[in-house]
Amino acid sequence: MTMRQPVELEKSYLLLNHGPVTLVSAAQGGRRNVMAAAWAMSLDFSPPKVAVVIDGRTWSRELIEASGEFVLNIPCRAMAEQVLAVGSCTGREVDKFANFAIGTSAEAVTQAPLIDGCVAWLACRVIPEAHNQRRYDLFIAEVVGAWADPRVFAEGRWRFPSDDLRTIHYLAGGNFLASGDAFAAGGQ
């Protein structure tokens, strides 16, 4: 079951601020793919922008450069096996959606699909920056749509009702950290 409610664009940076691993989905002309990306961050509040590293050898890179769009999907712990799986093979040879039982939903904002089972989604439109893309594999994009599972993100705040729904942070070698306890500093 995937629950999804819109998030105001000016609050969409909150979905990425704590540095979770992402799944990058892209589609172009009937072709589509999904890859894992730990190197993604917010770049601006309003209009909201993101920066993400997309390796030049990936098939997703071709789809993103052709379509000018992608979705940053924020997976939860229940999806860790799939995150690892889609990061360990290429969509040129494997239909990752079929192979790893990854469902998708469409939103009218971009061609790129939203990955079911994730807990937040940022639909992004590439701001063409040829030098960054070529030299650093770095893509800058404007966030044009944002959604979250209201069980875990509502009224601008993350909360994790179960361990399965925690967001996750990639380390290396198939190892992750789960997002842990929330706490306030400064007596707030």
Burial of 124-149, coded b for 16+ CB within 10 Å and e otherwise, reads: bbbeeeeeebeeebebbbbbbbbbbb
Q: Site size for a copy of itself, by CB under 8 A? A: 51
Side-chain-side CA neighbours of 35 within 13 Å: the count stands at 24
User: Between residues 52 and 63, which has the closer beta carbon with respect to a copy of itself?
Assistant: 52
**Tokens 């098939």 label which residue?**
59
Give residues 75-134 in contact with a copy of itself (rule: CB under 8 A).
77, 80-81, 83-85, 88, 131-132
Which residues neighbour 96 within 8 Å (Cβ) at sequence distance 6 or greater? 33, 34, 85, 86, 89, 102
Q: Choose one: 39-47, 93-101, 102-110, 141-149; the region binding a copy of itself (CB under 8 A).
A: 39-47
Q: Choose one: 66-74, 110-118, 141-149, 169-177; the region binding a copy of itself (CB under 8 A).
A: 169-177
Here the tokens at position 10 are 């000016």
Binding site for a copy of itself (CB under 8 A): 14, 17-20, 38-44, 49, 51, 53, 77, 80-81, 83-85, 88, 131-132, 136-138, 140, 156-158, 166, 169-186, 188
